[in-house]
Structure 1
Amino acid sequence: MADKNKSKILIIGGTGNIGKFVVEASVKAGHPTFILVRESTTVSDPVKAKLVESFKDSGVTVIVGEVYDHPVLVKAIKQVDVVISTVGSTYHLVDQNKIIDAIKEAGNIKRFFPSEFGMDVDRVRAVEPAKSMFESKAKIRRAIEASGIPYTIVVGNCSSGFFLPNIAQLGLTAPPRDKLTIFGHGNVKVVFNSEADIGAYTIKSVDDPRTLNKILYIKPPNNIFTFNELVSLWENKIHKKLEKTYVPEDQLLKLIEESPWPLNIKLGIGHSLFVKGDQTYFEIEPSFGVEASQLYPDVNYTTVDEFLTPFV
């Protein structure tokens, strides 16, 4: 049941990979929840249409419109206290400038969460073309800071549902049982979080003064693994040793240069994660960030171990 004392939340992109989990977490936490849905979503995509219906059934207010329709967007924003953008590739991430403009015009928003949920784009050391993709998110951060809109950035790191079902093996749709490829030496630490947990931590932070104008890093201790540790965990689960091929950095960089799009971006992200260690090489300083599992110890997060068990 929605609690009228809790912030009203508008989620833009609520039928997406992360968005649907943010919507579910918002409803579960008792926030009056609104979603902005494009008309085409409910007409041409039966899976998403069904999802929208299930949201309605759980008490979500569905507003039909899109970020390009400024009057509709402003009107939607005026009904809420917090805006969370989870727009993905369908909208270009730069289109969030339209959300920023609408928030400025509405003038009533207590907090804006831009579509981040991955790595800390101000601290990645990626090569092209992944570098440009991260920079487009960084530009949105600068625009929010310049606008003076209160914000929280959520760094969810690797989403388990994307990386773990195939143990981060490009092109595989199931976990490997014979052999796998490891970028670099496999001793760099990476963070994996379930999408449901990313949603839960995001909603926890909505009314929390400690996360205002800060980066919320989701780095629970049991979800930080080197690739070698991850493989070892999987081998123990299936009671079998896998044949491992290590790809040294110079070879990987050459592959990135020679590969077509979108493979080059995927390899570039792999390089940033598994070779450069862009999720774990820096300390979270209180001046810019806070860590979610320390702030909210009551969230019973899914560990990597638990996440992998059903795939055995």
Structure 2
Amino acid sequence: MAVKSKVLIIGGTGYLGKRLVKASLEQGHETYVLKRPEIGVDIEKIQMLLSFKKQGARLVTASFDDHRSLVEAVKQVDVVICAVSGVHIRSHQILLQLKLVDAIKEAGNIKRFLPSEFGTDPARMGNAIEPGRVTFDDKMVVRKAIEDAKIPFTYVSANCFAGYMVGGLCQPGHILPSRESVVLMGDGNQKSIFVDEDDIAKYAIKTIDDPRTLNKTVYLRPPVNILSQREVVELWEKLIGKQLNKSSLSEQEFLNIMKGEGYAEQVGLTHYYHIFYHGCLTNFEIGDDAEEASLLYPDIKYTKMDDYLKQYL
């Protein structure tokens, strides 16, 4: 049996981070979770960290404000996965990840780094509109730093998190499906890709010891989950046994609504715009410099979106 990597997960108490911790432990890795002093008296995060410890994870104390502590934390492991939550303020996530890149470079022992991406591939979003393109531009800055430092990497493009998109039938501002009505983005026929968050974590952990994914982008494209908004709605209608009242929002109407929102909301809506009006997740073929996760790891029985929607019944 191959020796498993020692994995440090940063942002382990977050939405995806807690799933990465679980997947790492389940796949037999010696799992370390960063405990930041800045957590203070956030009792929910403290209790979550303690629950990780009970499950076999090791807690490592380090701060992004203390370079030496980050270096020492990194030296204890083989793989670093960053799941620091994305926020729409340029000065936050990008700076934290650049500090982490500096620590990994100095430590010099890391055989794989997975930066905090897990969504749309930023390398394919050079034509994204403002202000949403800031998140893609920031991720490309981090990628350049990683590659300039010659740090071995894997970029994971997980496309749409099911909890954020499928739960609300792909409508911005909704995370629960209506039994009455739905607003379609345009004609609702642009294809997207939806992945259960637990599956995202399982696939990501699978990549860390795989030579096929070294210095590549791994796309999560479970075939049955390549669906349009209209098809997601139809899955829900079949489950509840009734048709929803449907209206449509044209591209221009969507842009007009977006312009009336605050900065952070505009950033988020830009992502919906490119996904559901332009089909940015499915309008390209995966090249030789990338891999597709469901083909690499057929042993993972991913969640199909009709099954995912059953939890809302």
The count of residues paired between Structure 1 and Structure 2 equals 308
Alignment of structure 1 residues 47-66 onto 2, 5 Å? 47-66=44-63
Q: Deviations over 1:40-97 (max 9, x none)?
A: 42x4222222211110001111012222211110001111101101111465233211
1:299 aligned residue: 300
1:231 aligned residue: 233
2:182 aligned residue: 180
Contact 2:115 2:155 in 1 (8 A): yes
Alignment of structure 1 residues 47-126 onto 2, 5 Å? 47-89=44-86, 91-124=92-125, 125-126=127-128
Contact 1:256 1:267 in 2 (8 A): yes
Name structure 1 gaps, 5 residues minimum. none
Question: What residue identity is the alignment partner of 2:160?
Answer: C
1:160 aligns with one of 137, 159, 162: 162
2:31 is the alignment partner of 1:33? yes
Question: What residue identity is the alignment partner of 2:116?
Answer: S
Q: Offset of 1:258 from its aligned partner?
A: 2.7
Name structure 2 gaps, 5 residues minimum. none
Distance 1:225 1:11, change over 3 A: same
2:207 aligned residue: 205
Give, in whole Å, the separation in 2 of the partners of 1:243 and 1:18.
33
Q: In structure 2, the residue corresponding to 1:154 is in which secondary structure?
A: strand
TM-score, normalised with respect to structure 1: 0.95
Distance 1:164 1:40, change over 3 A: same
Alignment of structure 1 residues 278-297 onto 2, 5 Å? 278-286=280-288, 288-297=289-298
1:44 aligned residue: 41
1:148 aligns with one of 150, 155, 173: 150
Question: What residue identity is the alignment partner of 1:129?
Answer: P
Structure 1 range deviating more: 85-94 or 138-147: 85-94
2:217 aligned residue: 215
Give, in whole Å, the separation in 2 of the partners of 1:37 and 1:304.
34
Distance 1:52 1:159, change over 3 A: same
Q: Offset of 1:149 from its aligned partner?
A: 0.6
Contact 2:166 2:175 in 1 (8 A): no
Q: Offset of 1:211 from its aligned partner?
A: 0.1
Q: In structure 2, the residue corresponding to 1:44 is in which secondary structure?
A: coil
Give, in whole Å, the separation in 1 of the partners of 2:266 and 2:279.
18
Question: What residue identity is the alignment partner of 2:190?
Answer: V
Give, in whole Å, the separation in 2 of the partners of 1:144 and 1:262.
27
Percent identical among aligned pairs is 43
Contact 2:191 2:227 in 1 (8 A): yes
Give, in whole Å, the separation in 1 of the partners of 2:140 and 2:117.
9
Question: What residue identity is the alignment partner of 1:122?
Answer: A
Contact 1:4 1:32 in 2 (8 A): no
1:14 aligned residue: 12
Q: In structure 2, the residue corresponding to 1:275 is in which secondary structure?
A: helix
2:253 aligned residue: 251
Q: Offset of 1:27 from its aligned partner?
A: 0.5
Structure 1 range deviating more: 46-55 or 289-298: 46-55
Question: What residue identity is the alignment partner of 1:13?
Answer: G
Q: Deviations over 1:131-179 (max 9, x none)?
A: 1122111111111111111100001111112222222323334211111
Q: Offset of 1:266 from its aligned partner?
A: 2.3
Q: Offset of 1:4 from its aligned partner?
A: 9.0
Question: What residue identity is the alignment partner of 1:44?
Answer: V
Q: In structure 2, the residue corresponding to 1:233 is in which secondary structure?
A: helix
Give, in whole Å, the separation in 1 of the partners of 2:173 and 2:257.
15
Give, in whole Å, the separation in 2 of the partners of 1:4 and 1:295.
18
Contact 1:122 1:138 in 2 (8 A): yes
Give, in whole Å, the separation in 2 of the partners of 1:78 and 1:122.
30
Q: Deviations over 1:218-275 (max 9, x none)?
A: 1010111011111111111111111112111122222222322322122211101111
